[in-house]
Structure 1
Amino acid sequence: MIGQTVRLADAISIARILAVPIILGFVLWHPPSLFVPAAAIFLIAAISDLLDGYVARRSGKASTLGIYLDLVADKILTSCVLLVFVDLGILPTWPAALIITREFIVSGLRTVAAAEGLIIPAAAWGKHKTLVTNAAIFMLFLAFAGSELPANMSISSVTPVQIFAYFIMYIAVILTITSGLRYVYNARHVLFQMMKH
């Protein structure tokens, strides 16, 4: 029973990764007319992160594959969508670069810590960052669904929903920086250990 539960959690993570090319296909095929279905799939994929975590906790055991999939699935989903937003002109390069860079730094520290047998305590700030970033991406999908992309827009045509979506995204950027700095601080023992080698 436990093995089946673990496999279910792994399957949910794999499904989240497989959702990425579908989302990108909708976004790139004929933007922004298919942003609504892309937003719906993105929302389901983001919520599935909570589901596979719940399933894994319920079993009380996680597979090595499951831990790996859970770590990379969210990063693949978020990074790919952010890069497409940059390509379409919806998002400036720097917010996407900051968010993705933070993920590289945290993943690198986790890898080194695991190799050294060290534990870096998780912080609630990271979860808040993920939640707000996903909300901002979802809002940007909806804000530009069926409307002109930024390259064809004038200042007067910017809608309140688009302004709100950007506001949420910049909150996500602030949380990205803050949570990243806190994570590095919590991982200072890992950094000190690296300096000794």
Structure 2
Amino acid sequence: MTHSDQKASTKGDGASAWIKAALRAMAQDGISAVRVEVLAKELGVTKGGFYWHFKDRADLLSRLLDDWRDGRIAAVRAVTEPKEGETPRDGLIRLLLRQLGNPNQRGLATELAIRDWARNDLQAAAAVEQVDAERSARVIALFIAAGMEPDLARTRAWYLYSLLFGQALVTPPQDGTAAMDKLAEDAVDMLLRTTREPIGQ
């Protein structure tokens, strides 16, 4: 193993570097782009450095999924944890604004690539299912805390996440922060309604 291999294979940052490189490759070109030779070239090491941390490509993919799943679950727990004095409505608006005001295009590309991979891979599908379950449970709890029945809360949580993912694929409003605030408030107020009367009546 060369000196550069050892540098990229330190038993902490080294494995993380390989996983991050794999995630970047997958986000850009899909799971088929995650190849040891390509990643080694990007990291500036030989293939030998790879085997310091991973048994094979399958081991890398398994740990990539673990890293993505754990990161997404930690993120959703952090953003849905109620702040002091915050109402469930406030929490839902904050969740929506976090995505509207700071779209993570690389994160979205990674998630879309993993979901595409999950269509044909049971391990990837299991990771996606775990992330979706955590997201749903957290947002359902906010709707229930706002006084909504569990069945309706589940439906509204699905609507909210459809909005969160869908908005990243379209051009956002160009009128600045105030427009974003209004959009988030209107969306949450619509989702919190349990009657069919138009808003404003």
TM-score interval for Structure 1 and Structure 2 normalised by the shorter chain: 0.3 to 0.5
Pick the structure with greater CA Rg. 2
TM-score (norm 2): 0.39
Higher relative contact order (CA 8 A, sep 6+): 1
Normalised by the size of structure 1, how large is the TM-score? 0.40
